[in-house]
């Protein structure tokens, strides 16, 4: 009997409680997984369902080494904060973008949210389980939305309790949430730690924090003080490591360095070392490349940059080769059960179908007389299979492309390319240390991992350069809208003529014109300097300087022309300016209209003499040169991926 979780809870929960008086909860190995398990435990126990056991589940080979249910019949299995379902689960809740392996009769609650506990505590349960404040802080940690709350790498990486009696309550609450997460992650691999934490904790960050410290003390885990020292040494080693470098605004890291000392590693170390970087691309030797935005910068996702799309662009470069390369199911099962024991759930046919569905080659169809035999082989532990059975699995394959796609995922701000370790493992019994054989097509997967990382970095750099040019033109379009509105004002001033100024206002207007001329001359000198600097050392930063100065001088020129209109004896001589204003309203946002705007401004300037006119004309020429430079840059970027010096 499996029911559907509705917006207001679980349908017929009282009937389910009679059918399943007991439950086992499986939860993801992080803060959101732990608090989701605690929230689910609280929810079930309110209906008389006794949670008899809990189990940690993690992606990768740990997913298939998780313990089998210890009880069945009157005990239901519940999965929280995990995207990969299995037939054994009666209830499955998750907040990620997509899920797989979910059986049709499994009760599900898949709701996109910053955390899974947010749904369990505030949607599934009729009453809040965790406080709204706790949920907000947990969700911030799980979504890494640190910049929104002004949090820094030092805040997130801190091990030491620093509650200040004079500090504000919000700061103390953030300290509590971040410390709870930091210590939980530091101890998460300790045998039985997370399970005991879920079993004995109530839905409160304060209670969870105290229980972490109690368990750590009872089990003689490394103290926060010791781990803080280890972390500082780790940070120093990474600062000196050749495996962590800065390429423009991208941190490039290979491996995590020495991870043996308790509490040394922290995923945000690269951003502590390079706080101004926008991105991190890290390659792990086990076959994973991850790209992420800097979560401590307010504009954590640069406009036009989508890391998920970039990952797919990189893989598409070798799509034909990946589709041609076949991975035997024997290899997939063997690697999946690397850490499995007799008590593990193992890699089953349901997992194979969930991940690869219709991508399997040579898999017998359900109406085949061999189908049941193959299913029985896949559902048996790898260590118990005979050589003949393993050879049967050798014949069933999935392309490397489909394996990588099934194991990878992400979105705009963080993405993973995973499953790369399968690429060169075309046989289940490789010789030696995976060295490439002469004339063989597969390369060592470590080399493949490094290639993917390099391509990710290069493609990201190209997108950043293109994005900078796009930003320049986006800003230019915005400015042109403003300029066209000023042009409209010029038309109004044309109609008003001298009458808008009057004899008394003339000296004042002349003073304002003198100020305009001074600002134009000053801006023109700054623009000239920026352009000369660019010729000596062309960089995207100098392009931005040129862009800013160009806008400033252009606006001053238009402002000057609007003043001059009021001094012209015969306003009817400016009929073209009025027509120009109307034309601009039809062409707002067109970057190439700037020269036309300047031409019309020049028409205004030519109709009346004033002090500094020569410098103003020179400034107009310089603005035109700056526009040509940016225009040529844009065209070159569309044709070539070269660096700025070559443009």
Give residue 195's pLDDT band: very low, low, confident or very high (50, 70, 90). Answer: very high
Evaluate if residue 437 carries a pLDDT over 60.
no
Evaluate if residue 559 carries a pLDDT over 70.
no
Give residue 522's pLDDT band: very low, low, confident or very high (50, 70, 90). Answer: confident
Mean pLDDT of 346-373: 91
- Collapsing DSSP to helix, strand or coil, 403 comes out as helix
Inter-residue contact 144 to 301 (CB < 8 Å): no
Of the CA atoms within 13 Å of residue 471, those in its CB half-sphere come to 16
Instruction: Look at residue 10 in the predicted model and tell me its pLDDT.
Output: 63
Q: Which residue has the tokens 């691999």?
A: 189
d(CA 138, CA 35): 9
Mean pLDDT of 130-155: 92
Question: Which of 68-77, 200-209, 500-509, 522-531 ranks highest by mean pLDDT?
Answer: 200-209
Higher pLDDT, 269 or 259: 269
pLDDT tens digit string along 3-12? Answer: 434 444 666 6
Q: What backbone phi and psi angles, to 5 degrees, belong to 428?
A: -85, -10
Instruction: Look at residue 120 in the predicted model and tell me its pLDDT.
Output: 78
For residue 260 the two structure tokens come to 């043996």
For residue 434 the two structure tokens come to 């995976």
For residue 185 the two structure tokens come to 């992650």
- Collapsing DSSP to helix, strand or coil, 349 comes out as helix
Whole-model pTM: value is 0.70
Evaluate if residue 320 carries a pLDDT over 80.
yes
Instruction: Look at residue 465 in the predicted model and tell me its pLDDT.
Output: 78
Q: Mention every residue, 6+ apart, whose C-beta is less than 8 A from residue 357.
A: none
Evaluate if residue 462 carries a pLDDT over 90.
no
Alpha-carbon distances of 455 from 316, 317, 379, 461, 463, rounded to whole Å: 11, 9, 38, 10, 12
d(CA 112, CA 94): 8
Inter-residue contact 329 to 348 (CB < 8 Å): no
Evaluate if residue 126 carries a pLDDT over 90.
no
pLDDT tens digit string along 173-192? Answer: 899 999 999 999 999 999 99
Torsional sign, CA 636, 640, 643, 647: negative
Evaluate if residue 227 carries a pLDDT over 90.
yes
For residue 540 the two structure tokens come to 């995207």
Bridge partners of 79, per DSSP, are: 26, 92
Q: Buried (b) or exposed (e) across 407-421, using 16+ Cβ within 10 A? A: bbbbeebbbbbbbbb
- Collapsing DSSP to helix, strand or coil, 272 comes out as helix
DSSP 8-state code for residue 100: B
Lowest mean pLDDT among 106-120, 127-141, 518-532: 106-120
Inter-residue contact 348 to 89 (CB < 8 Å): no
Inter-residue contact 198 to 54 (CB < 8 Å): yes
Question: Which of 3-17, 156-170, 369-383, 418-432 ranks highest by mean pLDDT?
Answer: 369-383
pLDDT tens digit string along 60-117? Answer: 777 788 888 776 678 988 888 887 777 788 888 876 555 455 455 555 555 556 777 7
d(CA 254, CA 282): 6
Count of Cβ atoms closer than 10 Å to residue 635 Cβ: 12
Count of Cβ atoms closer than 10 Å to residue 149 Cβ: 12
Instruction: Look at residue 19 in the predicted model and tell me its pLDDT.
Output: 84
Inter-residue contact 125 to 39 (CB < 8 Å): yes
Evaluate if residue 491 carries a pLDDT over 80.
no
């Amino acid at each position: 009997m499996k029911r559907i979780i509705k917006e207001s809870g679980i349908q017929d929960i009282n009937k389910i409680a009679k059918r399943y008086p007991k439950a086992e909860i499986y939860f993801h190995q992080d803060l959101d997984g732990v608090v989701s398990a605690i929230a689910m435990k609280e929810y079930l126990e309110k209906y008389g369902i006794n949670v008899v056991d809990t189990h940690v589940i993690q992606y990768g080979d740990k997913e298939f080494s998780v313990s089998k249910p210890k009880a069945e019949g009157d005990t239901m299995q519940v999965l929280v904060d995990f995207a990969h379902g299995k037939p054994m689960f009666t209830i499955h809740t998750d907040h990620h973008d997509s899920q797989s392996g979910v059986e049709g009769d499994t009760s599900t609650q898949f709701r996109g949210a910053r955390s899974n506990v947010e749904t369990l505590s505030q949607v599934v349960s009729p009453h809040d389980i965790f406080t709204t404040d706790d949920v907000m802080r947990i969700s911030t940690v799980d979504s890494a939305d640190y910049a929104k709350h002004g949090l820094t790498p030092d805040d997130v990486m801190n091990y030491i309790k620093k509650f200040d009696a004079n500090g504000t309550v919000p700061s103390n609450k953030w300290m509590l949430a971040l410390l709870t997460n930091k210590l939980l992650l530091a101890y998460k691999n300790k045998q039985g730690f997370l399970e005991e934490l879920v079993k004995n904790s109530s839905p409160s960050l304060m209670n969870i924090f105290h229980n972490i410290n109690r368990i750590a003390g009872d089990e003689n885990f490394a103290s926060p003080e010791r781990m803080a020292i280890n972390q500082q040494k780790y940070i120093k080693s990474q600062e000196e490591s050749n495996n962590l470098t800065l390429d423009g605004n991208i941190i490039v890291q290979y491996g995590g360095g020495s991870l043996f000392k308790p509490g040394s590693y922290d995923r945000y170390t690269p951003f502590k070392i390079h706080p101004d970087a926008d991105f991190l691309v890290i390659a792990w030797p086990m076959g994973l490349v991850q790209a992420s935005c800097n979560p401590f910068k307010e504009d954590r996702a640069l406009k036009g940059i989508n890391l998920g799309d970039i990952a797919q662009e990189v893989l598409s470069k070798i799509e034909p080769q990946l589709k041609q390369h076949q991975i035997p199911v024997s290899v997939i099962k063997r690697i999946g059960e690397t850490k499995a024991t007799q008590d593990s759930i193992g890699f089953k046919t349901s997992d194979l179908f969930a991940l690869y569905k219709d991508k399997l080659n040579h898999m017998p169809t359900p109406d085949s007389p061999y189908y049941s035999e193959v299913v029985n082989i896949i559902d048996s532990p790898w260590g118990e299979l005979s050589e003949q059975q393993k050879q049967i699995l050798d014949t069933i394959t999935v392309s490397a492309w489909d394996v990588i796609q099934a194991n990878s995922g992400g979105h705009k701000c963080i993405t993973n390319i995973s499953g790369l370790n399968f690429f060169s493992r075309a046989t289940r019994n490789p010789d030696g240390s995976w060295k490439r054989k002469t004339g063989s097509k597969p390369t060592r997967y470590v080399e493949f991992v490094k290639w993917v990382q390099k391509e990710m970095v290069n493609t990201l750099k190209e997108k950043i350069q293109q994005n900078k040019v796009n930003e320049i033109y986006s800003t230019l379009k915005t400015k042109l809208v403003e300029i066209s509105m000023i042009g409209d004002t010029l038309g109004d001033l044309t109609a008003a003529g001298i009458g808008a100024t009057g004899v008394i206002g003339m000296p004042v207007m002349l003073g304002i014109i003198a100020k305009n001329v001074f600002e134009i001359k000053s801006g023109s000198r700054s623009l000239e300097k920026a352009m000369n600097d660019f010729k000596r050392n062309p960089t995207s930063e100098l392009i931005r300087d040129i862009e800013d100065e160009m806008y400033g001088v252009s606006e001053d020129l238009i402002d000057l022309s609007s003043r001059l209109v009021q001094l012209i004896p015969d306003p009817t001589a400016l009929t073209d300016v009025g027509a120009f204003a109307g034309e601009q309203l039809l062409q707002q946002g067109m970057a190439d209209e700037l020269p036309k705007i300047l031409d019309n401004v020049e028409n205004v300037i030519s109709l009346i003499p004033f002090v500094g006119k020569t410098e103003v004309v020179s400034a107009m020429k310089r603005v035109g040169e700056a526009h040509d430079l940016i225009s040529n840059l844009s065209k070159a970027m569309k044709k070539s991926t070269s660096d700025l010096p070559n443009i």
